[in-house]
Amino acid sequence: MGQGNIEAAFSVVPEGSVTTPKGFKAGGLHCGLKKTTRHDLGAIVCEVPATAAGVYTTNVFQAAPIQVTRESIGAGGVLRAVIVNSGNANACTGKQGDADAYEMRSGFAAAIGVAPEHVAVASTGVIGENLKMDRVRSGIAELPSKLADSYEAADDFCQAILTTDLVKKEVCVSVTVNGRTVHIAGASKGSGMIHPNMATMLGFVTTDAAIGSEALHSLLRQATDLTFNMITVDGDTSTNDMLVAMASGLAGNEELTAEHPDWAAFAAGLRYVCEVLAKAIARDGEGATKLVEVQVRGAVSDEAAKAIAKTVIGSSLVKSAVFGADANWGRIIAAVGRAGQPVNPETVDIRLGDIVTLQQSRPIGFDEDAALEYLKGDTVVIHVDLHMGSGAATAWGCDLTYDYVRINAAYRT
C-alpha cells in the first residue's frame, strides 16, 4: 500500500478542482432546501457527451436518486451532467420521491438542452420528507446561469453538496498520457450525519482523459475498494452513497485500455484522487479531532488485512483511546483478534507511528511521554504487522469524541 511509486506517476495541481479537466463547468446556489443561506443545489456539466461510471450504496434501502442515476448511466454509459441537492435525501419518500427525482433529471436536462438519460441525480439530507419541489424548480431554472469553468464556480459546487461537513473536499492531479497532460479531479462530501440522519457519502470525479465507460467503471470500482470502502466514521452506511465519474475525452489521448502504456499511471492518479477525498471525509468525521490511519501488513491475504484494518479503525474503544491520546495497544490487539481472520497470537507487532508498543505479541516498554506527544498530533498511524504473509491494507477513520455524541444525540430534540 506504499505511496512512493504511485505519487511519481502524477502531480497534484494546486487550486485544481472539478472544472480543471477540459470540458467541465460547475456551479451552485441556494434554492431553499437548507434552513440556512448556504448553497443547497449544484451541478457539474460537460460540454460534450462524457463517458460515465457510477458506484452506489450497498444498503438495501436505496434512495430515489440512486435508482435514477443507475438508469441514466445504465442507458449508455454517457452523461452530460450531474445535479445534486443537499438538505433533503429524497429517501424513504415513496412514489412521490421517485417522481421528484425523475423531475429533477428531466427539468435540469431541459434547462441545459440535453437528453434526460444524460443526467445523473444525487441527494443528501433529511430522510423521510418529500422534496420542496417548488424550490428545486426555481433553483434548476437559475442554475444554468451560474455554470462556469472557474475555480469559484467549482467552489460553489463543492459548497452545495455539503451538509454538516466542516470543510469542502476537492483535489486535482495531472497525469501524462501519450505525452499529453490529462487531468483527474474530484469533489466529495461525507460524514454529515446530523441533518441527513446518517453519513451520506457523495463523490464526483471529472477527467478529460479519453476512456471507455467500462474501463472507467473498472478503475473506479478498484479505486473505491481501496479508498472510499476503507474509511469508516461509525460504520453506518447511508441509503444515498454514490460516486460518479465523467470523462470528457478532450485531452486528446489515445483511448485508455488495460493495454495502454499509461494505464497504470492513470489508475494511480484516479486512486490518489479517491484516496484524498476519502481521507478528507474521515478527517472531517462528526466531532473528529484527528485522522486515524491503520496499516496492516503481514496478513495471509489482502482481504484478511482489509478486514483486520477495518475492525481496528471501527473499534469504539480504539477510537476513544486515540481521542484521549492513550497508547492503548490492548484495545488494538483485541480488535485484531476478533476480526475473524487468521492471526498467529504469538507474532503480532503493533506500532503507533514509530513507537513500538507490542513485539511478537508481548508488550515492550516504550516512552509514554513520546507516545502521548505523538497521539496528540492531528494524524495518528497505527501499524499492525502479523508476520504471516504478504497481505496488506490501509484503512482510515477518526477518533470518537464528546462532540460526536453531542452532535448525534442532539439532532432533533
Residues that bind its own copies (CB under 8 A): 58-62, 91-92, 94, 126-129, 193, 197-199, 234-239, 314-317, 320-321, 323-331, 333-338, 343, 345, 358, 361-363, 372, 400-402, 404-406, 408-413
Is 163 annotated in some ligand binding site? yes
- How would DSSP label each residue in 166-232? SS-EEEEEEEEETTEEEEEEEEEE----SSSSS---EEEEEE---B-HHHHHHHHHHHHHHTGGGB-
Q: Which three cell numbers stand for residue 302?
A: 489482502
User: Long-range pairs for 367-374 at CB < 8 Å and ≥24 separation?
Assistant: 368/327, 371/327, 372/325, 372/327
HSE (CB half, 13 Å, CA atoms) of 370?
10
CA–CA separation, 75 and 57 (whole Å): 19
Is 200 annotated in some ligand binding site? yes
Place of cell 475473524: 340
Q: Are 245 and 53 in contact (CB under 8 A)?
A: yes
* Centroid of chain to Cα 89: 17
Other CB atoms within 10 Å distance of the CB of residue 3: 12
Q: Are 84 and 122 in contact (CB under 8 A)?
A: yes
For residues 46 and 336, which CB has a smaller minimum distance to its own copies in the complex? Answer: 336
Q: Are 310 and 228 in contact (CB under 8 A)?
A: no
Give bridge partners of residue 395 from the DSSP assignment: 294
Dihedrals phi, psi of 306, to nearest 5 degrees: -60, -50
Q: Least separation, in Å, of the C-beta of 398 and its own copies?
A: 12
List the one residue out of 315, 68, 63 whose CA is nearest residue 200: 63
List the one residue out of 124, 87, 129 whose CA is nearest residue 240: 124
- Report the DSSP pairing between strands 180-189 and 78-88: unpaired
Q: Which three cell numbers stand for residue 266?
A: 492513470
| Structure letter (DSSP) for residue 140 | H
Is 286 annotated in some ligand binding site? yes
| Structure letter (DSSP) for residue 113 | T
Other CB atoms within 10 Å distance of the CB of residue 351: 18
For residues 176 and 320, which CB has a smaller minimum distance to its own copies in the complex? Answer: 320
Is 311 annotated in some ligand binding site? no
Q: Least separation, in Å, of the C-beta of 70 and its own copies?
A: 15
Exposed (0-12), middle (13-18) or buried (19+): which is 253, by Cβ within 10 Å?
A: buried
Q: Which three cell numbers stand for residue 309?
A: 484494518
Is 408 annotated in some ligand binding site? yes
Is 181 annotated in some ligand binding site? no
For residues 20 and 191, which CB has a smaller minimum distance to its own copies in the complex? Answer: 191
Q: Could you give the residue numbers annotated as active site?
A: 200
Q: Which residues are annotated as a binding site for substrate?
A: 163, 189, 200, 286, 408, 413
Q: Which residues are annotated as a binding site?
A: 163, 189, 200, 286, 408, 413
